[in-house]
Chain A
Amino acid sequence: MVSQNQISKLKRVSEVLISIFSRPSGMIGFSIVILHIIIAIISPLIVPYDYKEFNSLIMLRPPSEEFIFGTDQLGRDVFTRTLMGGRVALLVTFFGTLIAVAWGGFVGIFCGLVGGRIDDIVMRVIDAFLAIPWILAMLLIVVILGTSTQVLIPALGFFYGKGIVRVARAATHDVIARDFIMAAKARGHSNFSIIWNELLPNVRDAIMVEGAMRWSWMLLAFSSLSFLGFGVSPPTPDWGLMISEGRGLMSFAYWSVIAPIVALSSLIIGINLSADAFAKALGIDRTQKAPV
């Protein structure tokens, strides 16, 4: 049996989806992101060459029929490595975003609900973490714990959740004074029950939009780390790493940087366009929010 409640939920989801896809920015953005995800999943099956096989006889060949995007300084096929270069990045940042949204959302709503001393202390700590530039914090974590995905996912998830705490807390403050929260409190519901049943449905939109934004920043942080040599280790194909490896030789072999640049930029722009369209479809104005 499908209840009335579920029907109205489905209706809302389909309305939001239609609204997203009726905007050109949303249409383009979502298509790019979905295309990237599909490529990331199936690329090992469709790439023409082995991503780590190097051959000194075919170093730095310009694009040709044999190698569509040319070869890099070790004679590896740039096309193959570009197709596979987003796999680690997408995996790490996707799960990182989930963690960030989960803990940031929960802590933010909790602080907004209980207020008082606990709220003050948590917000001061969050402020302190905000004052540390992301690059320094991520570098320290990576140097301490290494660059494996098991480290990067929780590290990025933790570090990028702090902004979500603020958004969730502010969204909670907007609804906390409403009657139904008072009613729930008067009925003697526990804090957890109020968060789950009353607050979460009301602040979910804001948190989801913020999470989508964080995804693109996380991707930026992840690829910057790779670029600086603190991310995934060679020979794993990764766009940031490919750009930093090809950069020194780009005066005569520009093709080895152009392909990863286009791939990474299109993914980040795609996520941003989708997040913008998503926010507009849900009726949330994000442009006022500070970029922290």
Chain B
Amino acid sequence: MFLLILKRLGLGFITIFLVSVIIFTGVEVLPGDACTAYLEREAKGELLEICREQLGLNTPAIERYLSWSYNALYGDLGYSLSGEKPINEIISVRVRNSLILAVTAILIGIPLAIILGIVTALWRDKFPDIFISTFAIFSMTIPEFISATILILVVAIWLNWLPGIVIVSSNSTVLELLPNIILPVIAISMVMTAHMLRMVRSNIIQVMSSDYVQMAKLKGVPYWKMVFIHVLPNGLLPAINIIALTIAWLLGGVVVTEVVFNYPGLGRLVIESISDRDLPVVQALALILALIYVGVNLIADLLTLVVNPRLRTLQIRK
């Protein structure tokens, strides 16, 4: 068990290391460097040389990668180009804003997905299932920017219930942010719920048709007792990993949603920093997003190990 956890942690570290290499190379092959982006038209001759000297861009790429990753290990992500502020400062506010959004969406989405998943599985191919499943297919396949645009059009413009676009600065307090997150949270949790409920549904259907549930039926166990005691614990176990993967997968969709609603989170920072070619920020963001992905998956794997003792003796699934 201990070895298993250690191995899982090791794999996580390898992934993060590879991501940092990929991202560093990706930024490295961008035409121009931090100095040409910062100085723009004045990027020639002496000024350029001084700037490169100051930022240490004249050293070989490998050396720069080592010092960057060394500092990142200690939580220092360097300085951004545009504001000349420490990246930690810029990003931590954005992380908080995105977390408010994500945590609210998850708190709404997970229980909703589990309930709807159970309902659709138990009433398989009946009216509730057909209705909910069709809606789920719509909300999970339509691009986030379309569902967000439709939400703004219907709720904010036609019904005039809520403001369509968030107008707060990134540094505003949590209380100022809260009333603005309603529409973005609806948009994000719609997609998330749809993904999760489909998988919860198929898990439960699978368990319902397994031998031991058939046996319980034959023994005459009352239907609801059978559902709650025999089906749900086993049917919901794989949901932990699915939830993790869905959350990680949604990182991309959250970027788009934040842009549509003009919400000052990590996602909008991704777009802003790429448009501004603020390379140090891009690198830092990629590292953080990859960390979230690996971290969420790691937690899910460990949780399943804790909840499901059968897996402890098995090899980790690849």
Contact = CB atoms under 8 A, between A and B. Distances in A.
A124 B18 contact: yes
Name A's interface SS. Answer: helix
Contacts of B285: 136
Contact of B143 (A130, A254, A268, A292): A268
A240 B252 contact: no
Contacts of A223: 143, 145
Interface in B240-266: 241-242, 245-246, 248-249, 251-252, 255-256, 259-260
Contacts of B252: 133-136
Nearest to B206: A288
Contacts of A220: 143
B14 interface: yes
Interface string A151-178: 0000000000000000000000000000
A261 B256 CA distance: 16
Contacts of A181: none
A12 interface: no
Given A216-B141, A254-B153, A285-B202, A291 B246 contact: yes
Contacts of A123: 318
A257 interface: yes
B153 A250 contact: yes
B241 A139 contact: no
Interface residues of A, number: 47
A73 interface: no
A129 interface: yes
Identify the interface centre among B26, B142, B143, B252: most chain A CB within 10 Å of its CB.
B143
A224 interface: yes
A228 B271 CA distance: 8
B138 interface: yes
Contacts of A243: 145-146, 149
Interface in B147-166: 149-150, 152-153, 157
A230 B274 CA distance: 10
A244 B148 CA distance: 12
Identify the interface centre among B15, B141, B144: most chain A CB within 10 Å of its CB.
B141
Contacts of A264: 143, 146
B153 A257 contact: yes
Contact of A287 (B202, B255, B274): B202
Contact of A292 (B29, B249, B318): B249
B153 A227 contact: no
A230 B272 CA distance: 12
Interface in B13-31: 14-16, 18-19, 22-23, 26-27, 29-31
Interface in A219-247: 220, 223-224, 227-228, 230, 240, 243-244, 247
B270 A124 contact: no
A290 B15 contact: no
Interface in A132-152: 132-137, 139-141, 143-144
A139 B242 contact: no
B199 A288 contact: yes
Contact of B255 (A129, A133, A291): A133
B311 to A, nearest CB: 17
A50 interface: no
A94 B7 CA distance: 40
Given A135-B252, A140-B27, 18 more contacts: A124-B18, A128-B19, A133-B252, A135-B251, A137-B26, A227-B145, A228-B256, A228-B259, A240-B145, A243-B149, A247-B149, A250-B152, A261-B149, A269-B142, A272-B137, A290-B241, A291-B195, A291-B249
Interface of A: 123-125, 127-137, 139-141, 143-144, 216, 220, 223-224, 227-228, 230, 240, 243-244, 247, 250-251, 254, 257, 261, 264-265, 268-269, 272-273, 285, 287-288, 290-292
22 contacts: A124-B15, A127-B15, A128-B290, A129-B22, A131-B15, A132-B290, A134-B252, A135-B251, A135-B270, A136-B286, A140-B26, A220-B143, A224-B144, A224-B145, A224-B256, A228-B271, A247-B152, A257-B153, A261-B149, A265-B141, A272-B141, A285-B202
